Amino acid sequence: QQQVKQSPQSLIVQKGGISIINCAYENTAFDYFPWYQQFPGKGPALLIAIRPDVSEKKEGRFTISFNKSAKQFSLHIMDSQPGDSATYFCAARGPSGSRLTFGEGTQLTVNP
């Protein structure tokens, strides 16, 4: 019940295209859903986050869509750029308040 399932495992997109990464969770007590971006040799960095009381959050080219009833959320990267090539992790904060449960990660490659 603590798991977060992420798909796809890898994604290849052309420059200018839309990248979509999906996550699903089971625990309805999760109350915070961040996305992290990780470049090779670096630690994950917070990209964007959403709470379950809103259905969408947009920051620049990055948008989180949240479907509470389906217990799913997704990251959309508009106008994808080669510099967006990285591994993306979705996460959900557990009912204890501070522990994050991470998805398995998606390796995104944006071709020039």
Partner 1 sequence: DARVTQTPRHKVTEMGQEVTMRCQPILGHNTVFWYRQTMMQGLELLAYFRNRAPLDDSGMPKDRFSAEMPDATLATLKIQPSEPRDSAVYFCASGLVLGPSYEQYFGPGTRLTVT
Q: How far is the CB of 108 from partner 1 (least distance, A)?
A: 16
Stretch that binds partner 1, among 19-27, 39-47, 55-63, 69-77 (CB under 8 A): 39-47
If binding is defined by CB under 8 A, does position 31 make contact with partner 1?
yes
Q: How far is the CB of 43 from partner 1 (least distance, A)?
A: 3
How far is C-alpha 82 from the chain's CA centre? 18
If binding is defined by CB under 8 A, does position 29 make contact with partner 1?
no
If binding is defined by CB under 8 A, does position 5 make contact with partner 1?
no
R_g of the chain, CA atoms, integer Å: 13
Residue 48 near residue 62, CB atoms below 8 Å: yes
87 vs 104: CA distance, rounded Å: 10
Cβ nearer to partner 1, comparing 20 with 100: 100
How many residues bind partner 1, per CB under 8 A? Answer: 23
57 vs 93: CA distance, rounded Å: 17
Residue 43: is it exposed, middle or buried by C-beta count within 10 angstroms (0-12/13-18/19+)?
exposed
If binding is defined by CB under 8 A, does position 25 make contact with partner 1?
no
- The residue ranges that bind partner 1 (CB under 8 A) are 31-32, 34, 36, 41-46, 49, 51, 89, 96-105
